[in-house]
Amino acid sequence: MGRLENKVAVVTGGAGGIGKAVGRRFAEEGADVLLVDLDEQALAAAVREIGSNKVSYLVADVTSMADNQAMIATATERYGGVDTFVANAGIEGDVASILDYDEARFDQVMAVNVKGPFLGLKAALPALAQRGGGSVIITSSIAGVQGAPGVAPYVTSKHAVIGLMKSAAKEAAAQGIRVNTVNPSPVETRMMRSLEAGMDPANAGEVKARLEAAIPMGRYAQPQDIANIMLFLASDESEFITGSVYMADGGNTA
């Protein structure tokens, strides 16, 4: 049997690099998986690429309480309940100084990156409790434990979800629900291409080289590197782990 046999997972940001890798890895280990994102074409393509009848999708907006409730209701209707909720949806925002940063863009970053996981917890925790417990995994970042110039709203949001996680871990522990964050360094995804270009549009490749040089292991993470950590946190192997910050950064913050 797989490590997630008979389990059901909801993964937001499911059409992105990390979300798709998590969906594939969880399905390989026996889980039924609902991928959630805003872009239906990208979601459909992700499901086709994974190629498993254990994976389906739902178009939804993580900043909407009704949509978060719909995620949980849909997973329950299709698969019988929810055991794992992966709050992975996130946006990078712009690269700009605090003085130049657009207020509406700040609000958007906070809405997706902080309000999204908060509403996801509100929707998911009762469903996990009905199953006798489960796992919530929130995607933070190395930006959740250190600062970085030019991306203050993103850094703020990724610090914030660690506080959210720690509070939720203490609130939900008595119901057998574990809540943790995974904090990646740069990952080979669209988001990093956007950030590299934002930092230096004419020399994005040089930006990547500099960022990789700061990682002791000498490379960006691959999406499957992050998925493997989330698999552990979703499995019964992590049944005594909650309130923890899992750095997945190749030694970047060591």
Active site (catalytic) residues: 154
Angle at CA 185, nearest 5°, toward 179 and 190? Answer: 100
Residue 181's closest CA among 249, 114, 86?
Answer: 86
Dist. CA 104–CA 172, nearest whole Å: 33
Q: Which residues of 9-20 are buried (b: 16+ CB within 10 A; e: fewer)?
A: bbbbbbbbbbbb
- Find the helix packing angle between 17-28 and 40-50, rounded to 10°: 40
The pair of structure tokens assigned to 101 is: 């940063």
Contact 22, 89 (CB under 8 A): no
> Which stretches of 72-192 are assigned E, i.e. beta strand?
84-87, 134-139, 177-184
- CB-based contacts of 206: which residues, under 8 Å, 6+ apart? 200
Residue 16's closest CA among 189, 165, 179, 171?
Answer: 189
Rg, the chain, Cα only: 17
